[in-house]
Amino acid sequence: MAALIYGVFCYLLFLLTILYSIGFVGGLVVPRSIDSGLMAPIAEALVIDAFLLGLFAVQHSVMARQGFKRWWTRFVSQSVERSTYVLFSNVVLIVLFWQWRPIPGVVWSVTNPAGVALLWSLFWLGWLIALVSTFLINHFDLFGLQQVWRHSRGNTVEGSRFRTPLFYKVVRHPLYFGFLLAFWATPVMTWGHLLFAIATTGYIFIGSWLEERDLVAAFGEVYVAYRKRVSMIIPMPPKRG
């Protein structure tokens, strides 16, 4: 029961964090966004923002690796390992939102109403693709709820099965593609937003490469064949053969 309560708490914190993320990137509603909040000299802002982005990248990648998980589950129950990963990711993101320093200056500004509408549509489409992608595989497993629920019922954690539903037939990482759309589609691109977009794009490609090593280890030739046939980040018609 304690594990279940802990898992639910981590999941609810994730929901709040992802909602704030949408507001943070889009400059919507939230008190501190990518272009508003604590101000600092440009050099100081660059150092702080780069550190915050690097902190998230390291935490997110290291804790997701199988070698770390094998070590980590010597101290943390396997049933709450994923929930703990989600918790740490949330905390790092909350620190990033709290301490982010905007960097003013406009890289591009779209004023044409049709262009503005198109970019906002792509922004929301990106978040929608990311959300749907999690449900296409197993949303509740991805964020730890399934593990703590099965544990509360006295069942063992099931191994994952390799599937390629809907988006996954044309792109191996639709979740990341959705994030790229959301991070880059903006009518007004400031220098701070550009730094965020470039850094997260770099992390997405590095993280994808690391993740695919684990997927090949988990699924073997099945995933190798899938990787040869389907594009990694940008949706493309699958190759035949």
**Domain definitions of the chain by residue range:** 2-229
For the stretch 48-81, pLDDT in tens is: 999 999 999 999 889 988 888 889 888 888 889 9
What average pLDDT does range 212-223 have in this prediction?
A: 92
Question: Could you tell me the CA-to-CA distances from 202 to 112, 156, 162, 187 in Å, in that order?
Answer: 30, 37, 26, 22
pLDDT tens digits, 27-50: 999 999 999 988 999 999 999 999
CA–CA dist 199, 202 (Å, integer): 5
pLDDT of residue 159: 63
**How many C-beta atoms surround the C-beta of residue 118 within 10 A?**
14
Percentages of the chain per state (helix, strand, coil), in multiples of 5: 70, 5, 30
pLDDT in tens, 190-205: 999 999 999 999 999 9
Least confidently predicted of 83-92, 96-105, 117-126, 144-153: 144-153
pLDDT score, position 136: 93
* Three-state secondary-structure class, residue 105: coil
What's the whole-number average pLDDT of the chain?
93
Which pLDDT score, from 0 to 100, does residue 64 have?
Answer: 86
Report pLDDT for 239.
Answer: 87
Q: What percent of the chain clears pLDDT 90, i.e. is strictly above it?
A: 77
Contacts of 4 (CB under 8 A, 6+ apart): 148, 149, 151, 152
What's the confidence (pLDDT) of residue 132?
A: 96
pTM of the model: 0.93
Q: Using one digit for the tens of pLDDT, what is the confidence trace for 142-180?
A: 899 999 998 888 876 666 778 889 999 999 999 999 999
